[in-house]
Homo-oligomer: A and B are copies of this chain.
Amino acid sequence: MPGERVAVVGAGLAGCLLATLLGRRGLAVTVYERRADPRVTGAERGRSINLAISARGLDALEHVGLREQSLARALPMHGRMVHPVDGAQSFRPYSADGKRAINSISRGELNHSLLDAAEQTPGVTLRFEHRLTELDPAKGRLVFQTPDGTVDERADIVLASDGSYSAARRAVTFNQSLDHRGFDYSQDYLEHGYRELTIPARDGEFALDPDALHIWPRGSSMMIALPNLDRSFTCTLFWPRSELEALDTPAAIEAYFRVHYPDVVDLMPTLADDFMHNPIGSLVTVRCWPWVHAGENCTVALVGDAAHAIVPFFGQGANCAFEDCIEIDRCLSENDGDWATALAAYQDRRKANCDAIAEMALENFVEMRDKVNSRAFQFKTAAQHALERRLAGRYMSRYELVSFTTIPYAEIPARMRRQNLALGGVATLAALVAAGVTRGRRRRS
Contact call A189/B183, Cβ cutoff below 8 A: yes
A183, A186, A193, A241: which has the most chain B beta carbons within 10 Å? A186
Interface residues of A in 134-192 (CB under 8 A from B): 165, 170, 173-174, 176, 179-191
A174, A193, A280, A284: which has the most chain B beta carbons within 10 Å? A174
Which residues of B have CB within 8 Å of A250? none
Contact call B187/A165, Cβ cutoff below 8 A: no
Which residues of B have CB within 8 Å of A174? 165, 170
Is A84 close to B, CB under 8 A? Answer: no
Q: Write the nearest CB–CB distance from A134 to chain B, whole angstroms.
A: 12
Q: Write the nearest CB–CB distance from A244 to chain B, whole angstroms.
A: 11
Contact call A165/B179, Cβ cutoff below 8 A: yes
Which residues of B have CB within 8 Å of A281? 180
A174, A182, A186, A191: which has the most chain B beta carbons within 10 Å? A182
Is A219 close to B, CB under 8 A? Answer: no
Which residues of B have CB within 8 Å of A188? 184, 186
Contacts A170-B174, A174-B170: A282 and B182 contacting too (C-beta < 8 A)? yes
- Per-residue CB contact flags for chain A residues 201-244 toward chain B (1 = under 8 Å, else 0) read 00000000000000000000000000000000000000001000
How many A residues are at the interface, by size bracket?
20 to 34
Is A279 close to B, CB under 8 A? Answer: yes
Contact call B186/A182, Cβ cutoff below 8 A: no
Residue on B nearest A284 in the bound complex, by CB: B182
CA gap between A165 and B179 in the complex, in Å = 9
Contact call B193/A241, Cβ cutoff below 8 A: no
Contact call B193/A189, Cβ cutoff below 8 A: no
Contacts A165-B174, A174-B165, A174-B170: A184 and B180 contacting too (C-beta < 8 A)? no
Q: Write the nearest CB–CB distance from A177 to chain B, whole angstroms.
A: 12
Which residues of B have CB within 8 Å of A186? 184-188
CA gap between A182 and B191 in the complex, in Å = 8
Which residues of B have CB within 8 Å of A181? 241
Contact call B189/A282, Cβ cutoff below 8 A: no
- Per-residue CB contact flags for chain A residues 303-325 toward chain B (1 = under 8 Å, else 0) read 00000000000000000000000
Contact call B184/A187, Cβ cutoff below 8 A: yes
CA gap between A396 and B191 in the complex, in Å = 40
CA gap between A186 and B289 in the complex, in Å = 12
Which residues of B have CB within 8 Å of A185? 185-187
Contact call B176/A165, Cβ cutoff below 8 A: yes
Which residues of B have CB within 8 Å of A165? 174, 176, 179
Which residues of B have CB within 8 Å of A182? 189-191, 241, 282, 284
- Per-residue CB contact flags for chain A residues 273-316 toward chain B (1 = under 8 Å, else 0) read 00000011110100000000000000000000000000000000
Which residues of B have CB within 8 Å of A179? 165, 282
CA gap between A281 and B181 in the complex, in Å = 9
Residue on B nearest A174 in the bound complex, by CB: B170
Selected contact of A180 from candidates B180, B187, B282, CB within 8 Å: B282
Which residues of B have CB within 8 Å of A170? 174
Residue on B nearest A283 in the bound complex, by CB: B182
Which residues of B have CB within 8 Å of A183? 187, 189
CA gap between A170 and B187 in the complex, in Å = 13
Interface residues of A in 12-53 (CB under 8 A from B): none
- State the 9 A-B residue pairs at the shortest beta-carbon distance, nearest first: A182-B189, A186-B186, A180-B282, A185-B187, A184-B188, A170-B174, A180-B280, A184-B189, A179-B282
Between A and B, 21 residue pairs with Cβ closer than 8 Å are A165-B174, A165-B176, A170-B174, A173-B187, A179-B282, A180-B193, A180-B280, A181-B241, A182-B189, A182-B191, A182-B241, A182-B282, A182-B284, A183-B187, A183-B189, A184-B187, A185-B185, A185-B187, A186-B186, A186-B187, A186-B188
* Given A165-B179, A184-B188, 10 further pairs, Cβ under 8 A: A165-B176, A170-B174, A173-B187, A182-B190, A182-B191, A182-B241, A182-B284, A183-B189, A184-B186, A186-B187
